Amino acid sequence: MITFYDFLCPPPQVTKSGNTWKTRLTLNYKGLPYKTENIEYAEIADLYKKHGIPPAIVFPNGHAHYTLPVIKDDSSGKDVFVVDSLEIAKYLDKTYPNTPRLIPDVEDAEAQIKAFENQMNGTFVSVMPVMFKASLSSITERSQEFFKAARVRDMNFIFPHKPVSSWDDIQFTPEEVQAAWASLEKPLDALSNRFGGKETFHWALGDQITSADLILAGLLLCVKAVNGEDSPQWQSIMTWSNGKWKTFLDKLEPYQSQEN
């Protein structure tokens, strides 16, 4: 059985992490049985250390970074831990060859998906700070101080020219929040060509769903969870590019279940 480690959120338990969404979509798309274990932000490092998993990233200053998603697969009789949403997709493709592949078995597919992931990180970077601020309410009280310190570190890493020293330094007026969301429209409109433009539809790499699609879907589902489905921001994103992103997520609806 596969155990999927996701974030524990105050009820209702709806994760706002785009990265864990990528793995949930991956598991659901493959139709693999799994169970979710929701853990606190502040407990991720303990999970890694308890099982001897090396940190996801060690920064040049020596800071060890522990991230979710993580999966544990004990179906071979021993516990196999895999870290990072794309590595998890690769592992599942390899270990369960009878499930639909997410990284096509053709030259360059993984490189294309990685390039797409980098492009998406660049596209969504403009809304990251407002997302960080808006996500605090989905963090359990116990993990809030941990979360704030981690996001301050992220801000200094992503925007080294605008250093912040505390969570309270990250402040936005309602107009700035609105402007940040509006700034996504142009790059997403340019991206819509990759998905068939305004009149037709195909997936990022062609006819088949791949990890590239689930990377974008994870980010969009995170935006949806952070803003709320009925928010003007989300409603307006659903109309962009002739409803491209609504169509995109509707097609992935069967894989968005959080039941497991």
Q: Which two tokens stand for residue 94?
A: 């390899």
Which residues in 147-206 contact ligand GSH (CB under 6 A)?
A: 150
Tell me which stretch binds ligand GSH (CB under 6 A): 46-54, 67-75, 156-164, 206-214.
67-75
Cis peptide before 104 (omega within 30 of 0): no
Q: For residues 75, 78, 79 and 83, what is the CA-based torsion angle, rounded to 10 degrees? A: -80
Which of 26, 28, 36, 67 touches ligand GSH (CB under 6 A)?
Answer: 67
**CA separation (Å) from 210 to 29, 213, 253?**
10, 6, 15
For ligand GSH, which is the closer residue by CB, 131 or 191?
131
Q: Rounded distance, CA 171 to CA 92, Å?
A: 41
Which of 2, 9, 47, 68 touches ligand GSH (CB under 6 A)?
Answer: 68
Which of 69, 211, 244, 252 touches ligand GSH (CB under 6 A)?
Answer: 69
17 binds ligand GSH (CB under 6 A): yes
Which residues in 81-140 contact ligand GSH (CB under 6 A)?
A: 84-86
Which of 4, 5, 8, 19 touches ligand GSH (CB under 6 A)?
Answer: 19
- Residues facing 3 on adjacent strands: 35, 72
Q: Are 33 and 107 in contact (CB under 8 A)?
A: no
71 binds ligand GSH (CB under 6 A): no
Tell me which stretch binds ligand GSH (CB under 6 A): 61-69, 99-107, 125-133, 155-163.
61-69
**CA separation (Å) from 76 to 17, 23, 69, 129?**
29, 20, 21, 41
Q: Rounded distance, CA 110 to CA 90, Å?
A: 9
Give the number of residues in contact with ligand GSH, rule: CB under 6 A.
12
**Which residues sit at the interface with ligand GSH, rule CB under 6 A?**
17-19, 41, 44, 67-69, 84-86, 150
